[in-house]
Amino acid sequence: MTPAELVERALEEDIGSGDVTTELCVPAGRQAHGSFIVREPVVVAGVELLPLIYQHIEVKAESGRALEPGQEIASVRGSARTLLSRERVALNFLQHLSGIATLARKFADRVAGTGCRVLDTRKTIPGLRELEKMAVRAGGASNHRMGLFDAVLIKNNHITAAGGVRAALAATENARVPVEIEVRTRAELDEALACGAKMLLLDNLSPAEAADWVRYVNGRATIEISGGVTLESVRAYAESGADFVSAGAMTHSARAVDIHFRLELD
């Protein structure tokens, strides 16, 4: 679903057969202008959606920009009825996506200087993955695979179902997309390397264990660390020498940030 389709569906969901409050309280011809203003430090995301919601919009801060309380994201003008009826949809997108971008920036800042990149995951709200991953990029972190279709990620259940590490890797030998495999034990690690694995996922290790495994691999494959990575621990994992650290928290645990819409009559 495209961003335009998501916006259209959101407006249909909220407005339905009509905004009865606004239609009863606000004269049809009344004109107004309004501003989207942040009330806490945020990294803005979702600004690209505003022109899909309003016709007459002036963007003051592009996605990815850090703003302080009181600063303006965008201003809009037009029918007071239209501004009011679409306010909540605009705020829902801005608050949610800016929350993700703000958290992603914190993760990216924590690993600065290590050479390690922070990746997101598929732990997203159904239907909003494209927008949430866009917000991750706005925050300065990186996207992992978009879905099940653009990369192979062989996890423990795949290994079990395939009949082992060797069988799983052999089955993906001619894959036309990147292939990554999760290894849970040193035996699986050795088997994966012996089979020519070039991308390894190490899950649920402590930072010290991760550093030990990274030293053991010694550059024979790129390494992603995953599992329970938090803002408090991400630096330690990044300093293990891993190439990537993935953090589902950037999308599944980001809180909506405080953004306000202030309306004034012309």
Per-residue model confidence as pLDDT tens digits over 238-255: 999 999 999 999 999 999
Query: What are the residue ranges spanned by the domains of the chain?
Result: 3-108+254-265, 142-246
Could you give the residue numbers annotated as active site? 88, 123, 155, 182, 203
Per-residue model confidence as pLDDT tens digits over 104-144: 999 999 999 999 999 999 999 999 999 999 999 999 999 99
Q: What is this structure's pTM?
A: 0.95
Contact 117, 247 (CB under 8 A): no
CATH 3.90.1170.20 fits 3-108+254-265, yes or no: yes
Fold category of 142-246 in CATH: TIM Barrel (3.20.20)
Whether the per-residue pLDDT at 228 is higher than 90: the answer is no
Beta pairing, strands 66-67 & 42-43: antiparallel
